[in-house]
Structure 1
Amino acid sequence: MESSPRRAERIGANAAALGVPRLQVVKGEAPDALDGLPEPDAVFIGGGLTEAGLLERCWDALKPGGRLVANAVTLESEARVVEGRQLLGGELVRVGVERAGPLGGFTAWRPAMPVTIWTVRKEAP
């Protein structure tokens, strides 16, 4: 689910180029855009974790055996994924990236914001 038409188009193009041609990108804002859709195999949450009920509605919509992946950058969204992991299990990973850039007449590493990734599979009954 993606609220930005431009980003939704990019996601679809990347999926096709990377060998995931059947990926369906739903255009709209979560969680309301979930209404009326069949149970998804996977849900990716890239933002909005602090919105009340978002995580719970995405989890409830997910089909048994499906996977939920959520990215967190802020302390508040990290708190939500930690809470989610405590309740539902899964795995937490933190990724940090640095890029080389100028520092005076030299080159130095500049860190980007780290991303905490929570991945969890919804068990089949």
Structure 2
Amino acid sequence: MEHSEHTEPRPPGLIGSVSGLVKTTLRLVMSRVELALAELSEVRDHLVKLAVLFALAILAAWFAIAFGTATLVFLVWETLGWKILLILAAVFAVLAFVLVKSAMKLIRGGFLGMPATLAEIKADRDMLL
């Protein structure tokens, strides 16, 4: 009897079933990792763009605030004196509060999350349990 390269597949037993289950689980895990990596790449790109825009905006705002404040203090010092500094401090405090709230709204908007990966993981969990 000659031994050929092509052997008949064995009927799946306990070992074959466990092996198939492990292979399927590994494929599932690998596909989820690949999806997570793709989404993390997108998130990284968004973070880089956000950081560059934020840095440029801060630089421009800093110059505008500095020159505007100096001009305003110079123009109204005769009338208001030191009170103009208090008024400007209050205005900048309100502005800072509004900006922080806006930034928090953007963060909560989901641009930094991974909704597709989380949805797939939840679907997998629901299917397995």
For the aligned pair, the TM-score class normalised by the smaller chain equals under 0.3
More strand by share: 1
Structure 2 length normalisation: TM-score? 0.20
More helix by share: 2
Structure 1 length normalisation: TM-score? 0.21
Larger radius of gyration: 2
Per chain length, whose mean CA-contact separation is higher, i.e. which structure has more relative contact order (CA < 8 Å, sep 6+)? 2
